[in-house]
């Protein structure tokens, strides 16, 4: 497989882009080699500048849930473009998408659209502090909630991939109100409450997606929510990755938990830059212009993103692909396990709905420490062999893979052939 044009663009990009990329994981630091540059995508496939076509299991890290360039989304976006790109004023479609989102999340009466998952999370945390009058937030090691200063500690895939303990430029004072707990360990949360009386809430990915896919065990989320209620603290669900992935709504609903504040990301914009945070009325009425918590943005509710979101979620609800996702996901999980066993490779496969990934370890993965037992050199070998056999994966052991509704039986056969060749290569390395 030829990657010469990607290599040329990488070298050209080094001149004016930081590392030739605009997000660190795209630099392929943990898998080696030059990053791939993409030219186009359609349905379940993505094509690089050298003309290599791949089954896409990245799907822009989740939001292309009905496949790339779906005809209904394309039509809606083209129609919106004819009316203008941005107005800095309210539009009808903001109201329409708000109703779709609120109807999908029990307990969410109002929502505020923003421009990214990072912005949704920082706003959601500010809201939790405004509502409770308390300052401290608990997060879990391995969960990534955007690159805001106060949460850029123990933050999962990006930092783990680059072997960075945190980030330069984040002052000590910025993280003084951030406490770190262990995923799937309620006692680690309780220990913080025993030491502090000013904890506003806990933020969590209902399904960990930035340390690889990590699923809550033994009613962890339910017990966490009950404990927080007893302490007058809020549960903030970061569903930037998990939103609409396991049901038409949030993973919290599948897991039997109702968060106090929910943060969402690009899936509600059909891949366009958008995020949102929402909650019940008594919480959301603290947000300006109704309350004293200020948050604003000229591009919030951008008309193009609203059109992309309405068309994507409407089509997703029509398709109702969740049983199909589970069937395809189970089939792909079995392929990974069978091929690994065939070649004597130790892996653990974690999956929840349409999110999955293998860990190259023989230890069950229930938290970030478990995830870090994975052999990242084996993953790098696996990654490049999958690329060479036509499957596009996230270039990190610690990133989730995502399904989309355009995946076909032919794609599954491509996947199976690629996994067989890749596991063989790992065994030989």
pLDDT in tens, 175-194: 788 889 999 999 999 999 99
Give per-residue pLDDT as tens, 299-350: 999 999 999 999 999 999 999 999 999 999 999 999 999 999 999 999 999 9
Greater confidence (161 vs 276) lies with 276
- Report pLDDT for 165: 35
- Band (pLDDT 50/70/90 cuts) for residue 163 is very low
Query: Annotated catalytic residue: which of 61, 144, 183, 277?
Result: 144
Give the lowest-confidence range in 180-184, 379-383, 418-422.
180-184
CA–CA dist 206, 225 (Å, integer): 12
Compute the average pLDDT of residues 144-164: 57
Beta bridge partners of 357: 350
- Report pLDDT for 419: 98
Q: 277 catalytic, yes or no? A: no
- Band (pLDDT 50/70/90 cuts) for residue 153 is low
- Report pLDDT for 176: 81
Give per-residue pLDDT as tens, 220-255: 999 999 999 999 999 999 999 999 999 999 999 999
CA–CA dist 312, 168 (Å, integer): 38
- Report pLDDT for 152: 65
Give per-residue pLDDT as tens, 97-110: 999 999 999 989 99
Compute the average pLDDT of residues 399-423: 97
Give per-residue pLDDT as tens, 110-126: 999 999 999 999 999 99
Q: Contact, 367 vs 212, CB < 8 A?
A: no
The dihedral sign for the CA sequence 109, 114, 116, 120:
negative
Query: Annotated catalytic residue: which of 134, 136, 225, 266?
Result: 266
Q: What percent of the chain has pLDDT over 90?
A: 88
What is the total residue count of the chain? 429
Compute the average pLDDT of residues 33-50: 97
CA–CA dist 245, 368 (Å, integer): 22
Distances (CA, A) of 163 to 24, 115, 157, 159: 12, 28, 10, 6
Give per-residue pLDDT as tens, 11-25: 999 999 999 999 988
Question: Does the structure show a pLDDT above 50 at 159?
Answer: no
- Band (pLDDT 50/70/90 cuts) for residue 411 is very high
CA–CA dist 378, 31 (Å, integer): 9
CA–CA dist 195, 346 (Å, integer): 41
Q: 238 catalytic, yes or no? A: yes
- Report pLDDT for 261: 98
- Report pLDDT for 158: 43
Give per-residue pLDDT as tens, 52-99: 999 999 999 999 999 999 999 999 999 999 999 999 999 999 999 999
Strand pairing report for 45-48 and 38-42:
antiparallel
Q: What is the mean pLDDT of the chain?
A: 93
Query: Annotated catalytic residue: which of 56, 238, 370, 411?
Result: 238
**Among 303, 314, 311, 296, which residue's Cα sits nearest to residue 248?**
314
Residue 396 half-sphere exposure, CB side, CA atoms within 13 Å? 26
Q: 266 catalytic, yes or no? A: yes
Question: Does the structure show a pLDDT above 60 at 26?
Answer: yes
- Maximal CA-CA distance, the chain: 63
Q: What percent of the chain has pLDDT over 70?
A: 96
Question: Does the structure show a pLDDT above 90 at 429?
Answer: no
Determine whether 301 is exposed, middle or buried from the number of CB atoms within 10 Å of its CB (0-12, 13-18, 19+). Answer: buried
CA–CA dist 407, 15 (Å, integer): 37
CA–CA dist 99, 316 (Å, integer): 15
Q: What number of other Cβ atoms are within 10 A of residue 9's Cβ?
A: 18
Map residue 20 onto helix, strand or coil: helix
Strand pairing report for 391-392 and 53-56:
parallel
Q: Domains plus CATH for the chain? A: 4-66+321-428 (3.90.1150.10), 71-319 (3.40.640.10)
């Amino acid at each position: 497989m030829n990657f010469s044009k990607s290599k040329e663009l990488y070298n050209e990009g080094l001149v004016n882009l930081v590392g030739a990329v605009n997000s660190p994981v795209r630099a392929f630091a943990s898998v080696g080699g030059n990053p791939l540059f993409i030219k186009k995508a359609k349905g379940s496939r993505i094509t690089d500048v050298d003309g290599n076509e791949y089954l896409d299991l990245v799907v822009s890290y989740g939001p292309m849930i009905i496949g790339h360039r779906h005809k209904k989304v394309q039509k809606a976006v083209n129609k919106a473009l004819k009316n203008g790109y941005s107005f800095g004023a309210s539009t009808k479609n903001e109201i329409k998408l708000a109703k779709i989102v609120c109807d999908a999340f029990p307990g969410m009466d109002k929502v505020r659209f923003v421009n990214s998952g990072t912005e949704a999370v920082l706003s959601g945390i500010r809201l939790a502090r405004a509502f409770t009058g308390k300052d401290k937030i608990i997060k879990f090691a391995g969960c990534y909630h955007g690159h805001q200063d106060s949460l850029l500690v123990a933050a999962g895939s990006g930092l783990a991939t680059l072997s960075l303990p945190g980030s330069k430029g984040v002052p000590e004072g910025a993280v003084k109100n951030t406490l770190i707990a262990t995923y799937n360990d309620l006692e680690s949360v309780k220990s913080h409450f025993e030491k502090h009386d000013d904890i506003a809430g806990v933020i969590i990915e209902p399904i960990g997606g930035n340390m690889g896919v990590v699923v809550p065990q033994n009613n962890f989320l339910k017990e966490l929510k009950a404990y927080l209620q007893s302490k007058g603290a809020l549960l903030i669900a970061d569903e930037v990755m998990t939103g609409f992935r396991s049901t038409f709504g949030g993973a919290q609903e599948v897991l039997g938990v109702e968060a106090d504040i929910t943060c969402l990301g690009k899936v509600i914009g059909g891949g366009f830059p958008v995020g949102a945070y929402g909650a019940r009325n008594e919480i959301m009425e603290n947000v300006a212009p109704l309350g004293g918590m200020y948050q604003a943005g000229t591009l919030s509710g951008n008309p193009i993103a609203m059109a992309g979101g309405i068309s994507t979620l409407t089509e997703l609800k029509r398709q109702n692909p969740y049983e199909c996702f589970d069937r395809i996901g189970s089939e792909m999980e079995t392929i990974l396990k069978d091929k690994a066993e065939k070649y004597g490779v130790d892996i653990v496969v974690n999956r929840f709905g349409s999110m999955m990934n293998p860990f190259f370890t023989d230890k069950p993965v229930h938290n970030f420490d478990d995830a870090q037992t994975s052999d990242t050199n084996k993953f790098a070998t696996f990654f490049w062999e999958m690329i060479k056999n036509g499957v596009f994966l996230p270039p990190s052991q610690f990133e989730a893979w995502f399904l989309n509704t355009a995946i076909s039986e032919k794609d599954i056969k491509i996947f199976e052939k690629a996994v067989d060749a890749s596991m063989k290569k790992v065994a030989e390395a």
